[in-house]
């Protein structure tokens, strides 16, 4: 049987300043296993849930917030695993799980673990327009490793591989370089023209030292 719960009877809020939520129609239906709450006010007193489904310990819950700081939020909290399985009756050419953020970002965070993507094929597409969009950025504190039969890179305008440390290119069967002009620099040279350039970098050679200075 539904239980009628009044919270924060003072309509000005718990602090008298109108910041805390209050309602007079909140209801709870539940037993020793779980609850369904309508109009539940969260502990922060700043958000009201339209519908909340929770276990008795409150650690496992789903809430559809309707007012306050998290208005329009749908929040699912699991103290254990969250498993989504779909598509048993679909065909291989159908889109089975679709996630679309109409505005804003999508964040996948594993605070103390790994993020794995596994599929027959994986496609990453950045189709933004403009210098600040259309980019794919990969950063790693240690290593970025690839292991495949072929590694193909196609840049329509420019590509660069640079390091302030040691670099190595190895081809056990062979190595082919094609260009209208190839410039090679080694610190075995006693002197070099200071204006030798490679892309956006200026290369200055000394007898026992080679420096790569970023250009403008």
Contact 54, 28 (CB under 8 A): no
- Residue 19 confidence (pLDDT): 58
Local confidence band at 148 (pLDDT 50, 70, 90 cut-offs): very high
Whether residue 25 has pLDDT greater than 70: yes
- Residue 194 confidence (pLDDT): 53
Whether residue 126 has pLDDT greater than 90: yes
- Residue 23 confidence (pLDDT): 80
Give residues with Cβ within 8 angstroms of 49, minimum separation 6: 37, 39, 40, 41, 42, 63, 64, 65, 66
Percent of the chain topping pLDDT 90: 58
Contact 26, 38 (CB under 8 A): yes
Distance CA(33)–CA(46), nearest Å, equals 27
pLDDT digits (tens, 9 = 90+) for 60-89: 999 999 988 889 999 999 999 999 999 999
- Residue 198 confidence (pLDDT): 45
Whether residue 120 has pLDDT greater than 80: yes
- Residue 10 confidence (pLDDT): 37
- Residue 43 confidence (pLDDT): 85
Distance CA(161)–CA(158), nearest Å, equals 11
Which pTM was predicted? 0.69
Q: Return the SS3 of 80.
A: coil
- Residue 44 confidence (pLDDT): 82
pLDDT digits (tens, 9 = 90+) for 152-209: 999 999 999 999 999 999 999 999 989 888 888 776 655 555 554 444 444 444 444 4
- Residue 139 confidence (pLDDT): 94
């Amino acid at each position: 049987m539904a239980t009628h719960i009044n919270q924060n009877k003072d309509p000005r809020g718990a602090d008298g300043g109108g910041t805390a939520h209050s309602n007079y129609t909140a209801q709870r239906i539940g037993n020793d296993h779980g609850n369904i709450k309508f109009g539940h006010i969260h502990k922060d007193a700043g958000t009201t849930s339209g519908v909340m489904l929770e276990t008795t310990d409150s650690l496992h819950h789903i809430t559809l917030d309707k007012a306050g700081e998290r208005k329009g939020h749908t929040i699912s909290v699991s103290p254990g695993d969250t498993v989504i399985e779909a598509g048993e009756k679909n065909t291989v050419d159908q889109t089975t799980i679709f996630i679309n953020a109409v505005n804003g970002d999508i964040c996948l965070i594993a605070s103390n673990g790994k993020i794995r993507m596994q599929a027959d094929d994986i496609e990453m597409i950045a189709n933004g327009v403009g210098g600040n969009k259309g980019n794919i950025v990969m950063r790693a504190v240690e290593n970025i490793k690839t292991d495949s039969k072929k590694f193909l890179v196609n840049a329509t305008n420019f590509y660069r591989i640079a390091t302030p440390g040691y670099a190595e290119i190895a081809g056990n069967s062979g190595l082919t370089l094609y260009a209208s002009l190839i410039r090679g620099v080694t610190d075995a040279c006693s002197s070099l023209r200071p204006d030798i350039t490679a892309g956006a970098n200026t290369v200055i050679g000394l007898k026992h030292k080679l420096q790569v200075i970023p250009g403008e």
